[in-house]
Amino acid sequence: MGKSAPAMPAAPDPVATANAQAAANKEAVNESAKVNQFRQETPYGVLDWSGEIGTPDRTMKVTLSEDAQRAYGDQQAIAANLAQIAMGRMGQIDAGPFSLDGVAQVPNGASLEQARNQAMQEYYAHGSQFLDKRTANEQSKLQDRLIQQGVGLDSRAYRQAMQDFQEQSHEAYAELESRARLAGSSEASQQYQLGRQMRNDEIQEMVFQRTQPMNELSAILQGSPAIQAPSFGAPSQYSVAPADVMGAIQNNYNAQVSAANSARAANAATTGAVIGGLGAIGGAWISSRRFKQHFADLAAEDMLDAVKRLPVQAWRYNPAMVPDDDAVHVGPYAEDWQQVTGLGDGVTLNMLDVAGLLLGAVQGLIAQVEQLQAAQQEHGS
């Protein structure tokens, strides 16, 4: 019988693998910090590092030179004086809600209508004074001219001439009234624009008076000199890549699995040769009772049922696993054989077991045939 297939390697422990990778990552961080975080000295001061890398105690410390420290103190003093001035200006800021109470209102419809009517009446009154005089003068001239022409006061021509004059006069007064309306509308529009402008001016003045103290305070605060930190050169950034511990472990595991699969394939390919060389004498399997132990009877019905449930197909070997055999074979699979019979390793088939199962199944089938024949004979008699 062929030797047993090699056991598959155990999968890597994920916790141990993750811990190993974390340790490698931490070491990479430490090495990167060592090459990037170094002491720097400039005319303005010194930049130095202290504390363990990767811990909250890791500290960057800047120590100013004497001149830089003196300038820093002066800047602090100026900032403190400006802060006192700003505090004194705080009382000038109106903290109450902004209100438009007391601001002139834009003229409304009633006041605009009054202004329009007043301007219209004044324009009409002034124009009618001139028009009344002109109308009376032209009427007198027309009457004198008609009399000089011999047109009698009771004649039809006289009445027609006076009627035409009256119509022209009415048109003149209608034109004056139309102009008066336009003048009234123009005055109302001017009153509205003037009122609106006055309101906007008052609002702008209120906003200016309210925001000016805040603007002055902001200017004072912005006048505080900025504290210039010492300028240090930016070091080249070096990054030490962590070792790929997880990848190495996974690659090693994959290699072990591949080796085990190859060994199993080789074992499966040589099973027949092993049986022929070690388990058979003169082409027959060693089956003497003297070579066996732990005997047990099996039910023929169970073996027949096992054969019935065992899938049988035609197939070829995978050339990557068994490169020297490309023939078509017929038979079961080791996985199904192990599941149905409980025998084998799920990779190889022991031909002695296969033959024994088939013999037992045939015996079970013979028993069923004999039972059927006996039943038929009994029914026929």
What is the average per-residue pLDDT within 113-138? 91
Question: Would you say 46 and 40 are in contact if contact means Cβ atoms under 8 Å apart?
Answer: yes
Query: Tokens 């209608």 — which residue?
Result: 174
46 closest CA partner among 63, 70, 60: 63
Query: Tokens 């109308």 — which residue?
Result: 135
Residue 77 CA to residue 67 CA, distance in Å, equals 15
* Residues in Cβ contact with 303 at an 8 Å cutoff, skipping those fewer than 6 apart: 357, 360, 361, 363, 364
pLDDT of 88 strictly over 90: no
What is the dihedral sign for C-alpha 274, 275, 280, 284?
negative
* Residues in Cβ contact with 147 at an 8 Å cutoff, skipping those fewer than 6 apart: 153
Show the tokens assigned to 117: 């009517």
Quote the pLDDT of residue 274: 39
pLDDT of 376 strictly over 90: no
Residue 341 CA to residue 358 CA, distance in Å, equals 12
- pLDDT, tens digit, for every residue of 235-291? 556 566 777 877 888 888 787 777 777 766 665 555 444 334 334 444 566 778 888
Residue 274 CA to residue 286 CA, distance in Å, equals 13
Secondary structure E strands in 12-129: 40-42, 45-50, 59-64
131 closest CA partner among 93, 76, 169, 181: 169
Residue 201 CA to residue 44 CA, distance in Å, equals 54
What is the average per-residue pLDDT within 34-47? 80
Residue 77 CA to residue 276 CA, distance in Å, equals 103
What are the φ and ψ backbone dihedral angles of 334, each rounded to 5 degrees?
-60, -35
Quote the pLDDT of residue 21: 83
Show the tokens assigned to 273: 């040769």
Show the tokens assigned to 90: 């705080």
Tell me what percent of the residues of the chain surpass a pLDDT of 70. Answer: 87
Residue 353 CA to residue 313 CA, distance in Å, equals 19
Residue 187 CA to residue 164 CA, distance in Å, equals 35
Question: Would you say 85 and 220 are in contact if contact means Cβ atoms under 8 Å apart?
Answer: yes
pLDDT of 107 strictly over 80: yes
Question: Would you say 9 and 257 are in contact if contact means Cβ atoms under 8 Å apart?
Answer: yes
pLDDT of 320 strictly over 80: yes
Quote the pLDDT of residue 214: 81
- pTM beyond 0.85: no
* Residues in Cβ contact with 338 at an 8 Å cutoff, skipping those fewer than 6 apart: 344, 345, 346
What is the average per-residue pLDDT within 95-99? 82
Residue 365 CA to residue 371 CA, distance in Å, equals 10
**Average pLDDT in the chain:** 81
- pLDDT, tens digit, for every residue of 170-221? 999 999 999 999 998 999 899 899 988 988 998 988 888 888 888 887 887 7
Most confident segment among 58-62, 207-211, 325-329, 375-379: 325-329
Quote the pLDDT of residue 138: 92
Name the residue with higher pLDDT: 100 or 117.
117
pLDDT of 109 strictly over 80: yes
* Residues in Cβ contact with 340 at an 8 Å cutoff, skipping those fewer than 6 apart: 306, 309, 310
What is the average per-residue pLDDT within 41-69? 83
What are the φ and ψ backbone dihedral angles of 195, each rounded to 5 degrees?
-65, -40
Residue 33 CA to residue 54 CA, distance in Å, equals 9
* pLDDT confidence band for 163 (50 / 70 / 90): very high
Quote the pLDDT of residue 277: 38
- pLDDT, tens digit, for every residue of 246-255? 788 888 878 7
What is the average per-residue pLDDT within 3-15? 69
pLDDT of 5 strictly over 80: no
Other C-beta atoms lying within 10 Å of the C-beta of residue 139: 14
